[in-house]
Amino acid sequence: MKPFNYQGSSYYLSEREESRQRFLCVSGDTTSFIGEFQDDLFVCPLSQENAVTLRKRIPWLKPSPLGVGTSFGFGDRLGLATPGHIAAVKNTGVAPIFAQQSVRENERTGRDPQTVFDDAMWAIFESGWQDPWGADADHIKEIADLEPFILAGYSFYTIDPNLYVDDDAHTDPIEILMKKVDQIPWDRLDSDLRDQKSRYLDSPISCGGLILDFSQEDLFRALGKYAQALAHIKNLSDYLVENLDSFDLEVSVDETDTPTSVKEHCFIALELRRLGVPFVSLAPRFVGSFEKGVDYIGDLQVFEREFADHTKVMHSVGGYKLSIHTGSDKFSIYPVIARETNRQVHVKTAGTSYLEALRVVVVQDIHLFREILDFSRSRYDKDRATYHVSGEVDRVPASADCTEDQLMDLLDQFDSRQVLHVTFGSVLDEFGSCIKGVLLKHPEVYEGFLEVHFTRHLDSFRQ
């Protein structure tokens, strides 16, 4: 990269060709950097300490809250995808979240919040990106999960209370619902049943022409399903408020077995407002199926009709955007999402960048890809247990049965995309250094694949 001059000092990244190891080169004020002089340059490893110092020098290397505008989350399981993400998102008007990984994903990739954050930051610096960007501590389940993300400097926190969502309340008989309502921790919700009945049963709720007339059963199902989750969200939200000056907060109730009805969405949003939870993004569980690495599965007309009602609730309650989780590759519904939300939306992706990395492996090291494919087939039945997928390994051929062209085609087929997608943790344990070696040797190929792939994602949302 060309030297970047800022406030009297110059900074750039340099690479040793033989090892492909990169360094930060500083001329001018070298205070607090850790490294050594080589001629007139101070050469520093890309360490956590040097990343902290550089962020203190250059303000746009720190993430910031993005609010309710259009935003897009780019998951990066290898720490090498940010240049391609930047190439795709520039000039779209969409605010990017470049550092995004969940606790579960960090466990499976062997990374940690600081590493994810710093990998994105070095790429941002090298690319010259100076617009606002975010860092998402994804799918936070407990207070204990928060601390490493807070220390690293994340700006966006996704609370996942789904362990506290009671899916059975979706179909419980009324007498069971009544018992569950009796067990609600009302003190933690600063409410009681009389108060709830007054709020939701005394008169219909108008949401931009949509009239929501709650019955007692509707209210009891919403309370039975989500009351414990709301109390948990409030607890985590209060912790963030006490420990951070500013942040974006997303509430995610999408990883449940049952869809979030429009009335339940309204109930959740209004209760979060009443409790003072400063959320700017909400991810309901929408109708249909949002599976990993593939397009939307379901009746498109039903989705469009119900999604339109969800957006009426969002616009009426106000102050937040809808979030689309497992949002990658849902090309058939992006136009509906963009239109109905008026682009007041966050789209979250994760493993699709990993699949593009495997596309590079097919092109550059076909023998390695054959090993990965066969290994993924052997791991799929076990690794799929924590994912919502319907791909079948029996419909994915062994590598020996495929030509090179057929192997590339597998990255565009339903079953093989899911088999390759959800086995990423096992594959990285076995082949991670080899995959990274290919990507480091051919960074321009990876960036090119990512730019094409995410340009298609972003086309519906560009401003």
Choosing from 105, 250, 271, 383, which is the catalytic residue?
Answer: 250
Choosing from 136, 138, 248, 365, which is the catalytic residue?
Answer: 138
User: Quick one: tokens of 119?
Assistant: 């990998």
Query: Any catalytic annotation for residue 238?
Result: no
Query: Any catalytic annotation for residue 430?
Result: no
Q: Which residues are tagged catalytic?
A: 138, 250
